[in-house]
Amino acid sequence: MLERAEDAPAGVDAVKAIGTVSKNDYVTVIEPLIDNARREGRRIRLLFEIGPEFKSFTPAAGWEDLKVGLGAMRLFEGCALVTDTRWMRESTRMTSFLMPCPVRVFGTQDRAEALHWLASLPEGPGISHRLLTESQVVVVEVESPLRTADFDALALTADDWLNTHDELAGVVFHAREFPGWENIGSMIRHVRFVRDHHRKVRKIALAADSKVASLVPQLAKHFVQADIRRFGYDELDAALAWAAAPPDPQASEAG
């Protein structure tokens, strides 16, 4: 069976597997948890505990787990698996990079640490962005590993503008160091954002000092229509001015 734990901090849902877990357990415990999150407009931080009392999942429970997970994947903000069962720990570590949210594995004795980790996860997107309507430029401030939620929020801002305008003058990414992606799901969402929007953005500026940033313009020009230029981290004003400026007709003819 599955049972809800009552000692979880606010914003965290804790579930424990005991004995044999069946499809009905997912219907009566997990599905209401997900439905409540949707109704309240919040994302889910889930602690899933598998202790020594656990015996097995029925085949129907395994299918229900997969079905529920695929249908609600975007709702999850973080997952912690608490167990000492070796095969579960190893399989979760191997597949966690594929999840659209951070996933960590804890031992049974580290349950309190798992709850603390879930409670301390940053809320909402890990980057900030703003639309400068006068210059028609979106400025993206990057300080932490890129998350799926970042590109969902960025796409919402861009699409709201593009619903009533033909294009964005530019997008400026401002980052001291490129922090990478939280997982493969966020990287795929990044690629999808570029695919869906690059034909409607005239210019992309990278105001960053990292070595990775110096390679982006040369690599991206092979699959991105927008004009791309790199600036130093402290050259944000110059990057904004370049992104907002009309395209150079002579440069277009030369290209």
Residues 155-185 have pLDDT tens digits of: 888 999 999 999 999 999 998 877 777 666 7
CATH number, position 235 = 3.30.750
In this predicted model, what pLDDT tens digit does every residue of 32-69 receive, in sequence order?
Answer: 888 888 888 778 899 999 988 888 877 666 655 655 65
Domain-terminating residue out of 119, 145, 177: 119
Residues 214 and 110 in one domain: no
Q: How far is CA 164 from CA 30, 160, 168, 172, in A?
A: 41, 7, 11, 21
What's the first-to-final CA gap in the chain, in angstroms? 65
Domain-terminating residue out of 119, 154, 170: 119
Most confident of 17-21, 90-94, 210-214: 17-21
The reported pTM is 0.55
In this predicted model, what pLDDT tens digit does every residue of 102-148 receive, in sequence order?
Answer: 889 999 999 999 999 999 886 656 678 899 999 999 999 887 778 77
In this predicted model, what pLDDT tens digit does every residue of 194-230 receive, in sequence order?
Answer: 888 888 999 988 898 876 656 555 655 655 778 888 8
Conformational region of residue 180, where left means phi above 0, alpha means psi within -120 to 50, and beta covers everything else: left
Residues 66 and 151 in one domain: no
Residues 135 and 239 in one domain: yes
Please state, rounded to an integer, the average pLDDT across all residues of the chain: 82
Residues 236 and 171 in one domain: yes
Residues 107 and 132 in one domain: no
pLDDT of 206: 87
Residues 172 and 216 in one domain: yes
pLDDT band at 255 (very low <50, low <70, confident <90, very high): very low
Question: What pairing do the DSSP bridges indicate for beta strands 13-21 and 2-4?
Answer: antiparallel
Tell me the C-alpha distance between 143 and 200, whole Å.
26
Nearest CA to 197 out of 164, 156, 229, 150 is that of 156
Q: Which amino acid is at 16?
A: K
Asked if residue 254 has pLDDT above 70, the reply is: no
What's the whole-number mean pLDDT along residues 219-246? 84
Q: How far is CA 59 from CA 21, 73, 125, 162, 168, in A?
A: 10, 21, 36, 47, 50
Range of the domain at 250: 128-254
Tell me the C-alpha distance between 49 and 1, whole Å.
12
Q: What are phi and psi of 233, to 5 degrees?
A: -55, -40
Domain-terminating residue out of 65, 94, 119: 119
Residues 246 and 185 in one domain: yes
Say which residue, 254 or 198, is predicted with more confidence: 198
Residues 52 and 114 in one domain: yes
What's the whole-number mean pLDDT along residues 15-19? 91
Strand order in the sheet with 227-231: 128-132, 137-141, 168-175, 201-208, 227-231
Residues 153 and 74 in one domain: no
Residues 248 and 139 in one domain: yes
Residues 104 and 178 in one domain: no
pLDDT of 172: 93
The number of domains in the chain is 2
Residues 114 and 153 in one domain: no
